[in-house]
Amino acid sequence: MNAQAQGIRGAISGRWHVPAMLALVLIATSFYSYLLFHTLLELLTVLVAMAAFVVTWHTFPASRNHYLLLLGCGYFWVGALDLVHTLAYRGMNILPSVTTSNEPTQLWIAARYSEALLLLAAPLVIARPLHRSLSFALPAAVAIALFSLIMSGNFPDCFVEGKGLTPFKIYSEYLIIAILFGAMAQLWQRRAALDPRIVAGILLANAFTVGAELCFTQYASVFGPANLLGHIFKLFGFWMIYSVLVEFAFRHPQQAPAPDAPPYRPAPRAFWPLASAAVLVPLLIFCAVAWQGYQQTMRETQVDAQRSAEIFYRHARNVFQTHELIAERVSEHLRAMSWDEIEQSNGIRGYLKQITVDFPQAQAIWLADGSGRIRNASEPLPASPLSVADRDYFNALRARDRGTTIGQLVQGRVIKGWNFSTARRRESASGAFDGAVIVTIYENYFSDFWNRSAAEPGTVVALVRGDGQFLARAPRIEPNALAIPADAPLFQYPHTVEQGAYRTRSRTDGVDRFYVFRRLPRYDVLLLYGNSIDAALASWRAEMAVYAALFGSAALALLMLALATLRTQRQAEMQERNAILEAHVRERTAELRESEARFRAIASNSPDHLIVQDKELRYVYVMNPQLGLTEADMLGKTDRDFLSAEDAGKLEAVKRRVLKDAKPVQVQTFLRDRSGDLQWFEGTYVPRLGEDGQPDGLIGYFRNVTERKKTEAEIQRRTAELDAANKDLESFSYSVSHDLRAPLRSIDGFARMLEEDYSAKIDDEGKDALHRVRSAAQRMGELIDDLLKLSRLSRSDMYAEPVDLSALARSVAEDLKASDPGRNVIFDIPPRLEAHGDRRLLTVLLENLLGNAWKFTGRHAHARIELGALQKDGKPVYFVRDDGAGFDMTYVATLFAPFQRLHLAADFPGTGIGLATVRRIVQRHGGRVWAEAAVEQGATFYFTLEPESTVAAATAAQHI
Amino acid sequence: MTAGLILLVEDNADDEKLTLRALKKHNIANPIVVARDGQEAMDYLLDSSKQLPAVILLDLKLPKISGLEVLRQVRATARTQFVPVVILTSSNEDADLIAGYKGGCNSYIRKPVDFDQFVEAARTLGLYWLVLNEAPPVSC
């Protein structure tokens, strides 16, 4: 908490003069022009965002702070959206498709959403670092998606002219504020992983952004004090972010990484993704803008065509109405007059002339009788009679009962130039056809007016009769009498359709146009207006060329940025790799040095002999040269140079085999040294493989085993001696059994003889002495017998098999009971007790142990003798327990030695060989025997019949 | 028919005297021939003028020719092959027992140290081999 507080104090105290000064200057500019203020401020924030991005991006290899990196990249895209927002701002007139305050407000909201989401998401990468290119790509995706939505018109409206902000906009600001609070909470939770100053700075930036958003919910116009304050807050927020990013990227790069940030791993080559993004992003934006512009242009072209067609339609309708009016008035004026009167009347020409002067729409007025001859006219007539009987309108009037008709475009016969006429039927009193009043108009009356009014290139205005013939057309075409083909789209419409629109490429002049037609009432005449799409698109194309250049430059710049980034990244990687490599080399060098030192130490102290020979068996390396040779004697030479021919041949044969088979060969050999003594060597020749995998030499390592060989010989000699000694021992015991017993027999026998033959001559004392002599002799005989038995146990062959100790014990117990049926002894023997051993020896063992137990319970009225087994370390420990005389544990150490007795022979008879026998048998099985006893409390003899665990055995071995 | 002859092959004078005494003690009055080594025993046995013994009491440890060798030769000689041989020795080594029985001895008795026991053994021996046992025919 202390650190946090310090961080906040630090963040608040420093670096405020710059944004404060900037804010004051900007506010001053707002008095001159709010647009200028807005533009400068927004550009400043964009600049700050871009700078923050560049700094964090390039210092990332040093800082390794994923959190700051994501913030930097994110602000780059927020800045990009803000830039477009600025360009689209009302009054900037830079983006042609943007005419209202809606789009810039949408862009603003999009930028704020991006910023808020960025601040919310960024703390997540503290724990889970994001790849560097993803850090850039994810905010990019969000920004581009929002931008595309706005430019395609799919983003909700934010500002409606005359009404102000939409609810969507206002609630979005509140939502953004909520997200920002979430972002602050998120960051606070993870504050432990970041420098407190970073946390404080970002929190402060969040707070400023919240303030800005609160301001923007208030304003009704895009130019207003709330808007101004909001923008100032925004500048402060951006500045705070920038300060944090730059501060920690540059000044404290070593403090920037989070404590638990994983070690930096060089990013994989991201050139293609980055390059594609650099090209695709501007390309997509350009396409969206272009499509938008195109649609707009087309819409405008159509609207323009409709409007123009309406104007020209009204004009043409007026002209024809005037004609009709004139014809009607003239008809009325002349109703009472016959054709002859008309022809001869002097006033009529003046009357008609006056009308043509009053109405410029009527170029000339003609009066034709029923045969088509012109009887009078507003123009002076030629001397020869003039007939209109060939004109189509006259024939149409004569043929059909139609009041008015419009003739085709003709070259005048009296008045010069292209013209056409409106003709009105004159009828006799009976209603029969009686000539026509004809009002003629020059074609260029229309075309000149149209040319003046619709001067845009490619525009066409025309009057077309229902049969496709042009009455007038601007621009004019020669010959003027050309007709629109009957299969043209215009004639797809039925004659009853009053108006319509279509797009086609004109067959008259080959221009692609958008056409609108209006049908004149009561005449089958159409006003056709067409504006050239090419001409309309010309401005769009020009605009798009500018955009293309702009976005092309942007793509190029991004591409350069990507390249620069990759190069920086690669350099960082190279440096890192170099550092690792150098460290590795240092490590290896140290290892090598140590290894070399160790090798030297071993080499100089080791008796081992190491040689390396090349393919020609010349020595290239020698360690510990043997046989009294020195390195100088051997290096560069072969065995033949310093060994006897016999020894060299022997060695080289082996070495050639190693080279040929490429397999190691173990060698034991003797060589003669310089003084001619035999030296034994033992070791291995190993092929040394060259780069082609074939042996290009060999390595041999040897040990002089002469001493060992001598020792081995000595051991052999001693073993032989030992065998001989054993033989002697055997013959000794044989002698004992024969030769020691024979004198005893003599002693006993002759003592007996004395007793028998001379009893009269020997007194009682003498007899007692003789008795003692005999007893001693007999006892010695027993001792010799037991000794022999013991010696035989040691020598006899063993045959181990599964044995039921209980069965053996029962048999021994039976014998014991039979030997003294009077005794009250209970044998407690389990039904079955498995053991593995030599049946004969185990019988002897039980005879001794049970016999002892039997013997030492002899003084007790009741006795119990138990055979059983315990488990110790998974192995059985057998025991024989009695409740007899027992013994003092003080003397347990001597218990198992031959002839050792702990009781008087008078109390318990015996030679003291029984337990020695027991121990011998147990030892021969690899087991152990021990005893526990107390005087008059019985004794327990334990024994095992297999070796104890190897560890215990090893420990035992060490103690030995 | 004369009473059965006993051939005692014994190199130890003490043992000889004690054996004779033990036999006498039980009034075994049969003639006793004593051979003091294996060679002497064989000389006696191979001399066709001499009476074949009813039983040979044979010690194993003898000078010149060992007891086992004497046994082998006795069994190998047609004249003596059926003569009962009782090995009377100090040894009770398995090896000696096996060699004795393998060589075809009829009985194996270990000389006890206790003279009383020895006398008893001699009595039993005499009773058995000289009285109870039917000797093989002299010539067969």
Dump pLDDT digits (tens) for A792-831.
Answer: 777 777 788 899 999 999 999 999 888 888 888 899 999 9
Q: From the CA of B28, how many Å to the nearest CA of chain A?
A: 18
Count of Cβ atoms closer than 10 Å to residue A468 Cβ: 16
Which residue among A741, A753, A777 sits closest to B90, beta carbon to beta carbon? A741
**Closest-CA residue in chain A for B61?**
A738
- The DSSP 8-state label assigned to residue A214 in this structure reads H
Place of tokens 């031959």: A898
pLDDT of A138 higher than 80: yes
Contact A777 B113 (CB under 8 A): yes
Whether A600 contacts chain B with CB within 8 A: no
Per residue in A402-456, pLDDT (tens digit) is: 678 888 888 888 888 888 888 888 888 787 888 889 999 988 888 888 888 877 7
B125 pLDDT tier (thresholds 50, 70, 90): confident
Q: Do A742 and B112 touch (CB under 8 A)?
A: no
- 3-state DSSP call for residue A637? coil
Give the separation between CA A189 and CA A203, rounded to whole angstroms.
Answer: 12
What's residue A479's pLDDT?
Answer: 62
Q: Do B14 and A745 touch (CB under 8 A)?
A: yes
> A780: which chain B residues are within 8 Å (Cβ-Cβ)?
113
How much is the pLDDT for A256? 41
- Judged by a CB distance cut-off of 8 A, whether residue A781 touches chain B is yes
Average pLDDT in the A290-317 region? Answer: 87
Residue of A nearest to B21 (CA): A753
Q: How large is the average pLDDT for residues A614-636?
A: 83
User: What pLDDT score was predicted for residue A951?
Assistant: 43
pLDDT per residue over A632-670, tens digit each?
888 888 888 888 888 888 888 888 888 888 888 888 888
* Whole-number pLDDT of residue A266: 46
The alpha carbon of residue A793 is apart from the nearest alpha carbon of chain B, in Å, by: 12
What is the band of A905 on the pLDDT scale with cuts at 50, 70, 90? low
Report CB contact under 8 Å: A781, B111: no
Q: Which residue of A has its CA nearest to B14?
A: A746
Of residues A600 and A847, more confidently modeled: A847
Tell me the three state secondary structure of residue A683.
strand
Most confident of A248-262, A518-532, A727-741: A518-532
Q: For the stretch A330-343, what's the b/e string if a residue is b when 16 or more beta carbons lie within 10 angstroms of its beta carbon?
A: bbeebeebebeebb
Check pLDDT > 80 for residue B83: yes
> Which of A90-99, A262-271, A663-672: highest mean pLDDT?
A663-672
Strand order of the sheet with strand B32-35? B32-35, B6-9, B55-58, B85-89, B107-110
Residues of chain B positioned with their CB less than 8 A from the CB of A774: 114-115
CB-based contact, A741 to chain B, within 8 Å? yes
CA angle A784, A785, A791 (to 5 degrees): 90
Domains in chain A with CATH codes: 2-262 (1.20.1070), 299-535 (3.30.450.20), 611-704 (3.30.450.20), 719-795 (1.10.287), 798-959 (3.30.565.10)
| pLDDT over 60 at A259, yes or no | no
Mutation site, A738, A744, A779, interface B, largest B CB count within 10 A:
A738
Contact between A745 and B115 using a beta-carbon 8 Å cutoff: yes
The runs of H, that is alpha helices, within A217-368 are: 225-246, 271-334, 339-344, 347-358
Kindly report, residue by residue over A675-717, the tens digit of the pLDDT.
878 888 888 888 888 888 888 888 888 888 888 888 888 999 8
Least-confidence region, from A59-63, A299-303, A600-604:
A600-604
The pLDDT, as a whole number, for residue A955 is 42
Tell me how close the Cα of A768 comes to any Cα of chain B, in angstroms: 16
How many interface pairs between A and B have CB atoms less than 8 angstroms apart? Answer: 65
pLDDT digits (tens, 9 = 90+) for A342-388: 888 878 888 888 988 888 888 889 988 888 888 888 888 888 888 88
Question: pLDDT tens digit string along A24-69?
Answer: 888 888 777 777 888 888 888 888 888 888 888 888 877 778 888 8
Burial readout A390-406 (b: 16 or more C-beta within 10 A, e: otherwise): ebbbbebbbeeeeebbb
Which residues, including other chains, have CB under 8 Å from residue B108's CB and lie 6 or more apart?
B86, B87, B89, B97, B100, B101
Q: What is the pLDDT of residue A943?
A: 92
- B positions 79-138 inside 8 Å of A (CB): 89-94, 111-116, 118
DSSP percent split of chain B into helix, strand, coil, nearest 5: 45, 15, 40
Residues of A in contact with B91 (CB under 8 A): 734, 737-738
The rounded mean pLDDT for chain A is 82
Window 30-69 of B: residues touching A by CB (8 A cutoff) are: 60-61
User: B86: which 2 tokens?
Assistant: 């009782």
Tally of residues, chain A: 960
pLDDT score of A13 more than 60: no
Q: Residue A410 forms beta bridges with which residues? A: A419
**H/E run at residue A22:** helix A17-32
pLDDT of residue B87: 93
Please enumerate, as own/partner, the contacts of A48-53 that have beta carbons within 8 Å and a separation of 24 or more: A48/A79, A48/A235, A48/A238, A48/A239, A48/A241, A48/A242, A49/A75, A49/A76, A49/A78, A49/A79, A49/A82, A49/A238, A49/A241, A49/A242, A50/A76, A50/A79, A51/A242, A51/A246, A52/A76, A52/A241, A52/A242, A52/A245, A52/A246, A53/A79
Yes or no, beta carbons of A749 and B115 under 8 Å apart: yes
* CA dihedral for A764, A768, A769, A771, sign (positive or negative): positive
Asked if residue A502 lies in contact with residue A489, where contact means CB atoms within 8 angstroms, the answer is: yes
What value does the mean pLDDT take over residues A471-499? 77
Q: Is the pLDDT of residue A267 over 60?
A: no
A954 pLDDT band, cuts 50/70/90, is very low
**H runs (alpha helix) in A247-270:** none
Lowest mean pLDDT among A734-738, A758-762, A802-806, A885-889: A734-738
Instruction: Please give, rounded to a whole number of angstroms, the shortest distance from the CA of B137 to a CA of chain A.
Output: 35
Q: How far apart are CA A392 and CA A275, in angstroms?
A: 72
pLDDT at A251: 56
Give residue B101's pLDDT: 92
Burial classification of residue B35, based on how many CB atoms lie within 10 Å of its CB (0-12 exposed, 13-18 middle, 19 or more buried): buried
Amino acid type, B54: A
Chain A residue with minimum CA distance to B18? A749
Q: Alpha helices, DSSP H only, in A606-683?
A: 631-634, 639-642, 645-661
Name the minimum distance, in Å, from the CA of B138 to any CA of chain A.
34
Q: Which residues pair with A439 in a beta bridge?
A: A365, A422
Quote the DSSP letter at residue A192.
Answer: G
Task: Indicate yes or no: CB of B18 within 8 angstroms of CB of A749.
Answer: yes
Alpha-carbon gap, residue A334 to A806, rounded angstroms: 166
Averaged pLDDT for residues A504-509 = 81
A56 token code pair: 């964090």
Q: Does A751 touch chain B (CB under 8 A)?
A: yes
Higher-pLDDT residue of A900 and A802 is A802
- Is there a contact between A743 and A781 (Cβ–Cβ < 8 Å)? no
User: Is there a contact between A563 and A269 (Cβ–Cβ < 8 Å)?
Assistant: no
Q: Which of A170-174, A256-260, A345-349 has the lowest mean pLDDT?
A: A256-260
What interface predicted TM-score (ipTM) does this complex get? 0.79
Q: Residue A357 half-sphere exposure, CB side, CA atoms within 13 Å?
A: 7
Judged by a CB distance cut-off of 8 A, whether residue A789 touches chain B is no
For B115, the closest of A737, A741, A752 (CB atoms) is A752
Q: Per-residue pLDDT averaged across A555-559, rounded?
A: 81
The whole-number pLDDT of residue A222 equals 54
Q: Is A753 close to B12, i.e. CB distance below 8 A? A: no
Q: Which residue has the higher pLDDT, A626 or A362?
A: A362
Work out the minimum CA distance from B42 to partner chain A, whole angstroms.
23
* CATH code for residues B6-131: 3.40.50.2300
| Spatial separation of the C-alpha atoms in residues A792 and A126, rounded to whole Å | 85
Chain A residues closer than 8 Å to B116 by CB = 752
Q: How far apart are the C-alpha atoms of A760 and A33, rounded to whole Å? A: 168
The size of chain B, in residues, is 140
Q: Rounded to whole angstroms, how far apart are CA atoms A202 and A184?
A: 8
The residues that bridge with A665 in the sheet, in sequence order, are A685
pLDDT given for residue A865 in this prediction: 92
CB contact under 8 Å between A734 and B93, yes or no, is yes
